[in-house]
Amino acid sequence: MQSGFDIAIVGGGAAGTLAVIQCLRQARAPLRIALFEPAPRTGEGVAYATSRAEHVLNVPSGGMSAFPDRPDDFLDWLTTRPGHGDAAREALARGYAPRREYAHYLRARLRQAGEASPATLEVIPRKVAGLQRDGDGWRLAWADGQARARRVLLAVGNAPRPLPVRGSGALARPRLVDAWDYAGVAAIGADAEVCIVGTGLSMADAVLTLAAGGHRGRVHLLSRHALLPLAHATTHQVDGTLRVEDLHGLGVRARLRRLRRQVRDAATRGLPWQAVMERLRPHVVALWRSLPPAEQRRFLRHALRHWDIHRHRVAPAVHDVLRELRDSGRLRVHRARLDMAVAGQRCIQLTAHARDGRSLVLDVDHVINATGVELRVQAMRNPLLEQLLGEGHALPGAHGIGLATDAGGRLLDAAGQAQDDLRAIGSLRIGEAWESIAVPDLRLQAEAIAGQWLGKDPGPA
């Protein structure tokens, strides 16, 4: 058994790495910090694990700093990178860097934070499978070891949603490929007929990889709404006339009516609809929390997909690729619900039905699962989260998504009590905060948690 730690962070993707950086930055004493991450590199997770150049950030580089108090930090780092240093700073800020660069950036800042901190960091390449209350702290367990920590932060990241269709159990790689399996998507033959289930951001990644590999076959996109991601505006503008405080007392329908009216008004002033969204962006968490539970459920049932395509936008160049492929007929979009997948000797037959009752049958060589992130903790198939729920250390979050936390990320136990020494960051807080997976949200959460823990008790155990 390893000796005790002051802070243990479970998960070393972007959220966990940001949290470690903040703990190292804010430490004022020789604390011991453990980061549990089984992957060979920190700072990646599913979002930044890609090594492919066509996978770019979904936010301009000027908005991707890891630090709330240093908004140009990523841009400063990017200017030192080979291939970027010769570009004009303003152009870099407006551009969309490859996502692999962001993982390099996080690791560089993690190294710098460690070198300058009185605290020490130990990266443990293990997957934590159990967490038990142990006096004034927690005992963490994994396959071949245990450790004790005074405080634990859960940063387990995003889990892929399984393909929601009968017959998917009979499909296996390479016929069924997850959109986050970047190598698997790239290995699909140039003439293969492909169906991508889901039309969100991971779909765009898959289409870009196929296009970069010279794919010539048809690609079918299948989803219930058939709504593709929209693009960022080519210039960054904010509609300062929108009074966000006026939205707080409104329900979902009234808010949407108000926003549509604002978009029409912005257009008369020469502003794109994206300028309204940019004004709204810093207030989304407060707007979500101001909705009564019934209105939050209304949003999840009726407005979620429309919100996603306007809020989670893609780079203009990515949008252009999707539009060109669709205009050429090589990318075909189907609005239908997938019913069944049957694996034959030569192809996979997919059957789906549209809202008007018509049936759709597709015979394809490969299916790419791009259905997105699993929000329901009980469906994530994570032994650690299942154990915490089963033993009463945690509760499902609002509407069954994420875990129940307070506004500071403290997990609520079975009695509804907030636990200061057990917190969550990132996607596990989505039920309480809604906006909880993008870097602007993660960096604020990381800074706040480190400040509350270390400001309250900066000394070691």
Looking at residue 195, what is its pLDDT? 98
Domain 168-230+314-369 CATH superfamily: FAD/NAD(P)-binding domain (3.50.50.60)
Looking at residue 1, what is its pLDDT? 43
Residue 367 token pair: 């299916």
Q: Which residue has the tokens 């039920």?
A: 431
- Which residues, in sequence order, are CB contacts of 234 under 8 Å at separation 6+? 316
Burial class (CB in 10 A: 0-12, 13-18, 19+), 397: buried
Longest dimension (CA), the chain: 66
Looking at residue 460, what is its pLDDT? 46
Domain boundaries, the chain: 5-55+98-159+374-456, 168-230+314-369, 244-311
Q: How many CB atoms lie within 10 A of CB 171?
A: 19
d(CA 48, CA 14): 8
* Alpha helix segments (H runs only) across 414-438: 430-433
Q: How distant is the alpha carbon of residue 446 from its chain centre?
A: 15
User: Average pLDDT for consecutive 10-residue bins of the chain (461 residues)?
Assistant: 84 97 97 97 93 96 96 95 78 94 98 98 96 95 95 92 86 93 96 97 98 97 96 95 96 97 98 97 96 97 95 97 96 95 92 91 96 89 95 96 97 97 97 94 97 72 39
CATH assignment of 5-55+98-159+374-456, given 3.30.300.30, 3.50.50.60, 3.30.830.10, 3.40.50.300? 3.50.50.60
Residue 102 token pair: 């962001």
- Cβ–Cβ under 8 Å, residues 340 and 222: no
Q: Do domains 5-55+98-159+374-456 and 168-230+314-369 have the same CATH topology?
A: yes
- Which residues, in sequence order, are CB contacts of 354 under 8 Å at separation 6+? 334, 335, 336, 337, 360
d(CA 25, CA 31): 12
